[in-house]
Amino acid sequence: MCRVLDFVDLWFRHLACGTGQAGSLFHFAVSNNVKPVTVAPIVGDAANFIPENAEIAVNFLEGNPIGIDLPLAMTMSVKSSEAGVKGDRVSGATKLATLETGHQIQVPIFIHPGDRIRVDTRSGNYIGKE
C-alpha cells in the first residue's frame, strides 16, 4: 500500500545566521509567527545565497523541515572585490568579488563594493547588476 505524503511550502524570513557546533545555524521565522525555527543540515551550499532578511520557502513534512527552495536568482550586495586592472578592456574580463554572505564569485570588472547584483542560485554565476 502506498502512503501519500503532503508537502507544504511555508514562507519564512531569515533572521540570523551564526556558527554553532553543527556548522552554520539559520534561524527562520514565519511571517505571522514570532517563534523562530532553526534549520542547519538542510541548508547546505544554499547558505551562499541567503542574505540577511531574505524570504525563503522551507518545506516541512510532519512538522519537521526537510528542505528549502531558493528562488532562481537572488539580489545581493558586493562586500569587497579585487581592483580592476587599469586599461583592461578585454570583452568579458572578470575579477573575484565577495558577496555579503562571504561567498566569492567572478563578476565583470565594472562591479564595485556596495553594488547590488543578481546571482543565479543554481550555478552561482553573476547574472547582472541591479
Q: Which amino acid is at 82?
A: E
**Hey, how many other C-beta atoms are within 10 angstroms of the C-beta on 25?**
15
Question: Looking at residue 78, what is its pLDDT?
Answer: 96
Question: Looking at residue 21, what is its pLDDT?
Answer: 35
φ, ψ dihedrals at 47, nearest 5°: -55, -25
φ, ψ dihedrals at 44, nearest 5°: 55, -140
Question: Looking at residue 124, what is its pLDDT?
Answer: 94
Contacts of 3 by beta carbon, 8 Å cutoff, 6+ apart: none
Pick the residue with more confidence: 68 or 16? 68
Instruction: Domains for the chain: give ranges and CATH numbers.
Output: 8-69 (2.40.50.140), 73-129 (2.40.50.140)
**CA distances, 89 to each of 28, 104, 105, 129 (Å):** 44, 23, 20, 18
Confidence of residue 13 (pLDDT cuts 50, 70, 90): very low
**Hey, how many other C-beta atoms are within 10 angstroms of the C-beta on 43?**
23
Q: Is 70 exceeded by the pLDDT of residue 25?
A: no
Question: Looking at residue 89, what is its pLDDT?
Answer: 63
Average pLDDT over residues 41-51: 82
For the entire predicted model, the pTM comes to: 0.72
Confidence of residue 37 (pLDDT cuts 50, 70, 90): low
